[in-house]
């Protein structure tokens, strides 16, 4: 039997800011892993967004959280996603669709990426209903106001947020 070439390996990229990673993201990664040979979680190095965690910290947190996922690795990237994909030999983008409100922006991005590189396809996965309202922005807001994030973000994230963020009651 012929061995599959590197390009026959189905490598998918799951890009995002992950500031911080929450259980909705993890749910999408866990759904993607059995579909592909490898899922590369790609942390966007977005210098302009004034993030809570630096790119290096976000990569480190994701590596800790995903340590038990053998077909998954974490990288950071800057610039065009399609260029990063070309570098690592990936052809598929995984994105999460929470609700209709995500659709418009995701649709535009999928078509733009395909225009930039016609070999690239985007697939959409939907999370468990209980995570469909979760966003990184909301987790940060709730945490800052003293809300409980137990069950919504991994414990590694919660620990780091407690170290990083001063809350009103603390
Ligand atoms: P952005 O890169 O726009 O800041 P995120 O880093 O928050 O977005 O998210 C990266 C990807 O994860 C996107 O495809 C987004 O739709 C998806 N995602 C975000 N939150 C959830 C969730 N609660 N359930 C499923 N997918 C999600």
With a 6 Å cutoff on the Cβ, whether 131 touches ligand 1 is yes
Q: Which domains does the chain have, with CATH numbers?
A: 11-164 (3.40.50.620)
Q: Any residues with CB less than 8 A from the CB of 30 and at least 6 apart, and which?
A: 69
Specify whether 115 is catalytic.
no
With a 6 Å cutoff on the Cβ, whether 135 touches ligand 1 is yes
> 3-state DSSP call for residue 97?
coil
Task: Compare 8 and 154 and report the one with higher pLDDT.
Answer: 154
Q: Tens digit of pLDDT for each residue in 42-82? A: 999 987 768 999 999 999 999 999 999 999 999 999 999 99
Nearest CA to ligand 1 atom 4: 17
Q: Is the pLDDT of residue 7 over 90?
A: no
In terms of DSSP bridges, do strands 92-96 and 11-16 run parallel, antiparallel, or are they unpaired?
Answer: parallel
């Amino acid at each position: 039997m012929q061995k599959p070439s590197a390009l026959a390996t189905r490598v998918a990229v799951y890009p995002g800011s992950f500031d911080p990673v929450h259980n909705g993201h993890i749910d999408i990664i866990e759904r993607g892993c059995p579909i592909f040979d490898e899922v590369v979680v790609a942390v966007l190095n977005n210098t302009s967004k004034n993030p809570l965690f630096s790119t290096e910290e976000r990569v480190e947190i994701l590596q800790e959280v995903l340590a038990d996922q053998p077909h998954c690795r974490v990288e950071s990237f800057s610039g065009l996603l399609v260029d990063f994909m070309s570098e690592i030999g990936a052809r598929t983008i995984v994105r999460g669709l929470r609700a209709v409100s995500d659709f418009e922006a995701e649709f535009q991005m999928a078509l733009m990426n395909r225009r930039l590189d016609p070999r690239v396809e985007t697939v959409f996965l939907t999370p468990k209903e209980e995570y469909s309202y979760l966003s990184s922005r909301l987790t940060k807001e709730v945490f800052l106001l003293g809300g409980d994030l137990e069950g919504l973000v991994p414990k590694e994230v919660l620990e780091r947020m407690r170290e990083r963020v001063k809350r009103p009651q603390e």
